[in-house]
Copies of this chain bind each other. A is one copy, B any other.
């Protein structure tokens, strides 16, 4: 058993909290997106919430926990939706939200502490440099940059820059190891991959350097289509236009937009599938030109022509995209859940059409277009009208039979999530950074079961190391 009083005494001077209700709340993330995880992880809680203010305090925490064999699970804002931040074996919740400084903004890059909220970083860089982060999750106004790097992968801006797996999107990381004498390790170049989307199992990220890109006035645009595949085709065409700058292109099938986009409902007919766009203000005339060429789309809303009242009350378009689409739907119907799908490289829209025929209302479509290895591809986040776990597995199998890869959001291990391979190089790095396996234990199957065979032929998003 974890000797919490002894640990607390040991951490004298560092902010800690052991009120079980607060600790339990801070031990949860958005795992409830998945009905499967909701059942599995509901009882999970840590024992002590520790909120370090600097690296020296993290080192003290690690030293104490290493000596006493107490697990440490990093936490940013706790918005991960696969239970990434949930301490399966209790112990310390290492809350990094108070290490939120933006340390430097210089020639095209920003250096930040892990707890900095991504929207807050942009609020600083934009006025000073005219630049902003390349990619952020749709939960931009809440998620921390450390949590995004530790548990996220892709988001608004990925249509231009790909995901965290792409070399160059993260320049440098500083990490603290979990050892008897914790070290500070710096990673650059392709080495940063060792700590990205690793659920905090390979060290605690304490400093982050990422490139910035031009910040523009992004116009929120909703375009309606009577047919979801028309919406998808329009999205694909737009995504492939190299000069027409967008920051996000999402296609969402009817009746989801009308039924669940509460604030935007008034613009949308029930039978309309909607393409949600963020478009550079200066590209609006070009977008108009494109829409005149493919007249099946109807502009339902554009923020540059919205009333002052709408601008004040409507959420930004990015909060209709990525996992926010799911969340908007979940709010309207708690039985709803989702999947994450990569379609075959050749003619993805054809497969999407086939899936639509198979599943119809059970699986309304949601596509996000991203750059992937130099091409624009749709990633699927279809809504699932959930019945039970075995039907969910069946749906997954039908996808796989059509050549799709599923990044399963109903699994809390890295291996089963399926977007990043846990290979020998990652395990070697883990051994170096956390020899006792105390960081977020239970999330790497291959660590606990060295002879676990994961499928090397799978299509991961992140490269092997």
Contacts and interface: CB of A to CB of B under 8 A. Distances in A.
A21 interface: no
A216 B213 CA distance: 9
Contacts of A280: 108, 211
A160 B245 CA distance: 11
A168 B375 contact: no
Nearest to A190: B289
Contacts of A191: 289
Contact of A242 (B162, B216, B281): B162
Q: Identify which of A107, A171, A241, A285 gathers the most chain B CB atoms within 10 Å of its CB.
A: A285
Interface of A: 107-109, 129-131, 134, 160-162, 166-169, 171-172, 188-191, 209, 211-214, 216-217, 239-245, 280-283, 285-286, 288-290, 292-293, 371-376
Contacts of A242: 160-162, 166, 371-374
Number of copies: 2
A243 B166 contact: yes
17 contacts: A107-B216, A107-B281, A108-B216, A130-B130, A166-B241, A167-B289, A167-B290, A168-B243, A188-B289, A189-B286, A189-B292, A190-B290, A211-B283, A214-B214, A240-B373, A240-B375, A374-B375
A212 B211 contact: no
Q: What's the dominant secondary structure at chain A's contact region? A: mixed
A163 to B, nearest CB: 8
Nearest to A286: B168
A297 to B, nearest CB: 15
Nearest to A165: B243
A179 B240 CA distance: 39
Counting from the closest, the 7 A-B pairs by CB-CB distance are A240-B374, A166-B243, A189-B289, A162-B242, A168-B243, A190-B289, A168-B244
Nearest to A167: B286
A401 B214 CA distance: 43
A217 B108 CA distance: 8
